[in-house]
Each structure stands twice: as structure tokens, then as C-alpha cells.
Chain A
Amino acid sequence: MSFLPQIIFLIILIASGFFLIKRVKFLRRNILLGTAEIRNDQPEKRWKTMLLVAFGQQKMFKRFIPAFLHLFVYVGFLVINLEVLEFVLDGIFGTHRLFAPYLGGAYVAAMNFFEFLAVMVLISCLIFLIRRNVVKVPRFTKPEMKGWPALDGNLILCIEIVLMMAILKMNAADQILASRGVEHYVVVGNLFFSGLLHPIFENMSSSFLIFVERAAWWFHIVGILAFAIYVTYSKHLHIFLAFPNTWYSNLNPKGEMENMPVVTNEVNMMLGIPTDAPADPPAEIGRFGAKDINDLSWINVMNAYSCTECGRCTSECPANLTGKKLSPRKIMMDVRDRAEEVGKSLDTGGKGFEDGKSLLGDYISKEELNACTSCNACVEACPVNIDPLAIILEMRRYVAMEESGTPPQWNAMFQNMETSFAPWKFSPQDRFNWAEKVKEEEIPN
């Protein structure tokens, strides 16, 4: 028996492994372009959040139909990958259905379950394609989805459909060959779903069926490896990043905005309040707020890479619903695209952050930032706990404190607050006038 297929398989496996590691390093570096932030408190709560939200798909079920379909694709992905383990071992050792003899009846049951999942994944992906392209669910047709994002979504669904078809085709050809007693093939038992395909293959010659089976086998395993690499270029990264992303969720009340200790020190100094700040301030004071991705926390950038562009945030955003330019999903896509741009530039000896561009202005406009009501609908809607609001508010801080670029009406509000201690222009002496009337009224019995 020739070892050639095994050698080719090993080369493909090692090459894709190397490439995958390179890609993962690139993504990790891009995420760490963000500033350092330690968020390791309450580990028990973090594990629980990850289990419920990422592993348990809890927030997906706010919308039942897509959640149900997505659950099949998700469980299919997790479970069918067990079979991939057998694929890889078969590929390396030149064996066929390595686990079958050891597992006996359990193997037949497992194969039937895998086939059932494969069929459900296939059906779910078909429905997803219809939702995107025929029914045109509004959240998939927003402006930020034009071009690559739409193609990316469709490609992933098509790849998954083709991969699932390969499994079923392979099992069908495999079992016909086994029933004919062809050497190397083992009778697994009754496989229901691929059994339905038997009529298509039954009249074909054994040599052609071997070709079909082998082609499907190679297609499936090479397809999976290629898909793993493709994922690193696509919005589909959520399949891995959803887990760390939910672990690093913001556990504070959603209404709370993070304090800026740098400002606290200055305010305390101005008011003559003793501070615990070091006597000599750091030589280089960073920017106030965020102009580019290196002003954001690495968690914000990881959020961006975890986004699968489902658009649930945007479809709940009051600004977007009423036709404003703001789309929380676009904010996340912009952060990711800018991180990619800077990362690629740094890798090719380019200017990196000094390319004359920035997240603010070149990707996200003030009009978008200014439209946000900070209502947290986007944060609540995200199935993997992404926080677009944190980014919007950090960028508003940059606009207000570094550029003094807030809208004139906000500047007037600031002025009122400084002079009258209220956002409106009223005399602070009149603040208690409301009580005069009520103080004269008698309390009825």
C-alpha cells in the first residue's frame, strides 16, 4: 500500500497548522494594539457568564427562530468536530474508520447522530441563505453590509452546506462499498440519512464509488482545514472568540460609565483635595478618550473581532430605527477594520498608526457618535456581550476634551452647568423655588 496519501495528508495538515498559528498571532497582536486593561475580578461570575452566554447560547434565544436554527449549526459544529478527530487520525495512519471496531454499536449510533446533525446544519444554513438573500431580513441589508460582509456571510453558509453534503455523500458511497465487500471498507451498520442517498450511487461501479468516497473524504478534511484558515479572515471568528469575549464581559451595571482616574487627579488638585497620585506625573500623558484603536482597551478590540455582524444591536438601536446614521454594528466593524489595516501596515513595514488616518473621522463620524442615546439596547441585544456603547462614549470623550468638537448645543449645556450648576440656564438661587408653593398647602386628612 502506498504511503503517498498519508504523506500528502501530513504535509497539508502541518502546512495549515503553521499558517493557522501565523494567523492567530496576527489577530492576537491586533487585539493587543488596544491599551492594557485588567478585568479578572469575580472569576466565578465570569465562568458562569461564559457558560450561559457563549456555551449555552442564552442571549440567542431572545429571538427564537434564528436561535433554534443557529443551535443546530453550533451543536453540529461542536459534535461533528469529534468525527474530524477520526478523520485526522485516519489520514495520518492510513486507516479507515479507526474508531469503528472499538466502539461497536455506539459507533453506529454516533454516526447516525452526526448524520442527523449534518442534515440539520444543512437545512439551517439553507434557511439562513434564504433569510439573507430572498426574504432579505432588514438587519442583513443595512448599508454597512454591502460588498464583502454580505459575501462573507453567504460564503460561510455555502461552505458549510458543501461540507455537510460531503459527509453524507462519503458515508453513502462508503457503506455501499462495504456491503459489496470491497477491501478496506467496513460495514458500520444502518446509517439512516446517507442511506437515503444509496439509490443515487447503487448502480455505479465499485472503482468509481471508491473515487467518490475518497474525493468526498479529502474534500471534507481539506475543506475543514481551509475553513479554519478562512475563519481568521472573516466575521466568523465568533466561533472561538465568543468564549473569551463573554468571559471578559463588563459585569458592572450597564448604566455605569467607567471613571477616568487621570481626570480625578487633576480635578482634586484644582479643588485642593489631597490625592494619592504620584508627586511627579508621568512624562507622557495619554490622550483623553479615544481617537484611534490604540486609545481603546484591548477588550474593545477583542469585542470587534468577536462580532459576527448579526445586526441584532443595530435592529434595536433607537437612533438607527429612526433613520440616523449610527449603527452599533458598524462601530464594531470599523474598529475591526482599522485594527486590520494598522496590523497589516505594521507587518509590511508600513506606517502603522502614523498613516494619517484614524478611527475617528476616517471610519466613524461625529454624526454617528452624536446620535447615540446611551440607552444600552445594543449591549443588551448582543448574543456575545459586545459593548459598542463603551467605544462610542470613549470617542465622545476624545471629541469633547481633545478637540472641543462637541455640537454647539452641548457646549451651551456645558456652560450652563459651569455657571448655573444645571444643564439649563436658570439661576442657582432659584433651585429651591419649587418648594414655596407646596409649603403653603395644607395637608388634607
Chain B
Amino acid sequence: MSTYKVPTMAEMAGKGESPEVLFWVGCAGSFDDRYKAVTQAFVKILNKVGVSFAVLGPEEACTGDPARRAGNEFLFQMQAVANIQVMNGYNIKKVVTACPHCFNTIKNEYPALGGNYEVIHHSQFLQQLINEGKVALKGGGEFKGKKITFHDSCYLGRGNNVYEAPREVIKALDVELVEMKRCKTKGLCCGAGGAQMFKEPEPGRKDINVERTEEALATGASAIAVGCPFCLTMMTDGVKNKEKEAEVKVYDLAEMIAKDMGI
């Protein structure tokens, strides 16, 4: 029996190897207690499937997305240029990430600063693995036949027109996918985008995540699936606010797949 491997780019370069894909973990995936579980689940899937991957480990830094959205272009570009130097230094061609904000920034905003990579979101990566038959789903796991709703992340959906990949991943679990009233192009934000994650909301009648959670609960789903660390936090807080945490769970797509694979 072997243990899971998490090679870094530095280790691989030391051995003169280069992986097929860089797994960009992101700050939430590295530091947020809840999202670390998602990172671990995704790494387990990569191991199990035998994907040649590596992470940057301590060499990774924030993409700069929240700084840019909060208006601090200098800080964003400092972060971006430093990251691009590291990635270009390793001659990276392909990046996968579980964070739509990192995904959007590296894919769309790094090219203007000299960073050109093929970037995909982990929902797309998982969909590919499932379609290729590399992920063998048991389909009899804890989700079988249950109602699951998917919350579209703005930077995945409207931001980059990725609507179907996460839904295909969920459907592969043999569950009943139920849509919220506002979904896909009309999906309602969780409230954390545009650097809102890092400050209190402006005065208003209600918090956005509560509004969104009410909509998710109205579907009668037993689990809310997300594909974004900020959405995961916001929806989890929303469910707690509605005191439904015993009945309704919030999961990332990778966690659901890993659970089904029994890893």
C-alpha cells in the first residue's frame, strides 16, 4: 500500500521531470480549514486516477484577484508578475484550479502580463476524467437518488461561461439535480465576489448569502454543491443562519466525487 503523493514543482524540477498539469491550490485551498478538505479531496482523486501533477507549494502566492477588484492595481500586478515569473520559470503549460477566481485571473488576466497557460477549472477537469472513464463512480454512494442543487459561481458561470461541466459532474453521481429559480446566466451571487469576502457588506436589508441560501433551500435539496471556496463559505454560513445545518450540507464537487470513490 502506498500513500498519497503531493509533489511540488521544485521537487519535480530537481529530478528533471515536468508534470502534465500544475494544480493551483489558491489561498483558500491552502489556508481555509474547510477548503483544505476540498484540496485534499482533489489531490486524492488525482492520485487515484494517476494524473501527473504537481503543486507550487510554498512558492505559490495569491493571484491578486481581490486586490484588483478592490481597486489596487499595483498590488495585483506585483502578485501577478511574481507568480508568472515562477510559473514561466517552471515552463508550465497547463493549470487546473478549484477556485473560479484564480481560474479567471490566471486564464484571462495573466496573458496581458506575460503568463500564457491553458487553464481549466476543476469541474471541467473532473468532467473530462469522468467522460474518459478514468474516474469510476460507484453511483451507489451517499448521494444516490438524492436531490442536489448546484450554485453557479459568478466567475465560473457568467464570468467564463462554464455552466455545464459542474452539472455533468453532479449528474454522474446518479442524483437528482434540481435547479434554483435563479440559475446559470441568471444565477445569484453568493455575495463574496469582487473582494466582498474580505469586508463586511454595506448596510442593507439582508445579507446576499442568506437570500441565496433561501433559494437553495426552497428546492428541497439535501445538499448544495458548489465549485468555489468563497461560495462554499457563504452558503455554509447561510445554511447555519437558517439553522438547517443538520439537514442540508454544502459540498464542493471534488468532495462529492471523492466520497463516491471511497477515498
| Interface residues in chain A, defined as those with a beta carbon under 8 Å from any beta carbon in chain B | 62, 252-257, 259-260, 263-264, 266-268, 270-271, 273, 288-289, 316, 318-319, 321-326, 367, 370-377, 379-380, 393, 396-401, 406-407, 409-410, 412-414, 417-418, 421-424, 426, 428-435, 437-445
B108/A256 in contact, CB under 8 A = yes
CB contact between A273 and one of B25, B67, B81, B158 (< 8 Å): that residue: B81
Instruction: Determine the chain A residues whose CB is within 8 A of the CB of B3 once the complex forms.
Output: 439-443
Q: How far is the CA of A421 from the CA of B56 in the complex (A)?
A: 13
A371/B73 in contact, CB under 8 A = no
B78/A267 in contact, CB under 8 A = yes
Instruction: Determine the chain A residues whose CB is within 8 A of the CB of B66 once the complex forms.
Output: 413, 417, 423
Instruction: Determine the chain B residues whose CB is within 8 A of the CB of A271 once the complex forms.
Output: 78, 81-82
Q: How far is the CA of A105 from the CA of B160 in the complex (A)?
A: 53
Q: How far is the CA of A422 from the CA of B4 in the complex (A)?
A: 26
Decide if B91 is an interface residue (CB 8 Å cutoff). no
A439/B5 in contact, CB under 8 A = yes
In chain B, residues 26-72, which have Cβ atoms closer than 8 Å to a Cβ of chain A? 27, 29-32, 36, 39-40, 43-44, 47-48, 55, 57-58, 60-62, 64, 66-72
Q: How far is the CA of A263 from the CA of B8 in the complex (A)?
A: 32
Given contacts A289-B71, A417-B64, contact A443 B188 (CB under 8 A): no
The contact size tier of chain B is 35 or more
Decide if B139 is an interface residue (CB 8 Å cutoff). no
Q: How far is the CA of A396 from the CA of B189 in the complex (A)?
A: 20
Q: How far is the CA of A202 from the CA of B55 in the complex (A)?
A: 87
* Stretch touching chain A among B168-176, B191-199, B246-254: B191-199
A370/B77 in contact, CB under 8 A = no
Instruction: Determine the chain B residues whose CB is within 8 A of the CB of A367 once the complex forms.
Output: 202-203
B204/A322 in contact, CB under 8 A = yes
Decide if B262 is an interface residue (CB 8 Å cutoff). yes
Instruction: Determine the chain A residues whose CB is within 8 A of the CB of B241 once the complex forms.
Output: none
**How many Å from the CB of A324 to the closest CB on chain B?**
4
Decide if B161 is an interface residue (CB 8 Å cutoff). yes
Instruction: Determine the chain B residues whose CB is within 8 A of the CB of A253 once the complex forms.
Output: 104, 107-108, 159-161
Q: How far is the CA of A400 from the CA of B75 in the complex (A)?
A: 11
Decide if B201 is an interface residue (CB 8 Å cutoff). yes
B75/A431 in contact, CB under 8 A = no
Some 15 contacts from A to B, beta carbons below 8 A apart, are A256-B108, A259-B112, A273-B81, A371-B204, A374-B154, A376-B159, A393-B71, A401-B72, A409-B200, A421-B79, A429-B58, A431-B57, A432-B30, A432-B57, A434-B30
B263/A371 in contact, CB under 8 A = no
B193/A374 in contact, CB under 8 A = yes
A-B pairs, 5 with minimum CB distance: A255-B159, A400-B71, A323-B205, A374-B194, A396-B71
Q: How far is the CA of A226 from the CA of B106 in the complex (A)?
A: 53
Given contacts A374-B193, A439-B6, contact A426 B31 (CB under 8 A): yes
| Contact string against A for B residues 83-114, beta-carbon threshold 8 Å, 1 for contact and 0 otherwise | 00000000000000000000010011100110
Q: How far is the CA of A288 from the CA of B143 in the complex (A)?
A: 51
B193/A375 in contact, CB under 8 A = yes
CB contact between B198 and one of A413, A435, A439 (< 8 Å): that residue: A413
Given contacts A252-B108, A414-B67, A443-B2, contact A431 B58 (CB under 8 A): yes
Instruction: Determine the chain B residues whose CB is within 8 A of the CB of A371 once the complex forms.
Output: 201-202, 204
A324/B204 in contact, CB under 8 A = yes
Instruction: Determine the chain B residues whose CB is within 8 A of the CB of A410 once the complex forms.
Output: 70, 195, 198-199
Q: How far is the CA of A318 from the CA of B161 in the complex (A)?
A: 19
B47/A443 in contact, CB under 8 A = yes
A423/B58 in contact, CB under 8 A = no
Given contacts A254-B158, A444-B262, contact A422 B71 (CB under 8 A): no
Write the chain A residue with the least CB distance to B207.
A322
CB contact between A373 and one of B57, B62, B78, B154 (< 8 Å): that residue: B154
Decide if B211 is an interface residue (CB 8 Å cutoff). yes
Q: A256-B104, A318-B211 are in contact. List 12 more A-B contacts (CB 8 A).
A: A259-B113, A323-B205, A367-B202, A376-B158, A397-B73, A398-B71, A400-B71, A413-B195, A417-B66, A426-B30, A439-B3, A440-B3
CB contact between A375 and one of B5, B77, B112, B189 (< 8 Å): that residue: B189
Q: How far is the CA of A377 from the CA of B212 in the complex (A)?
A: 14
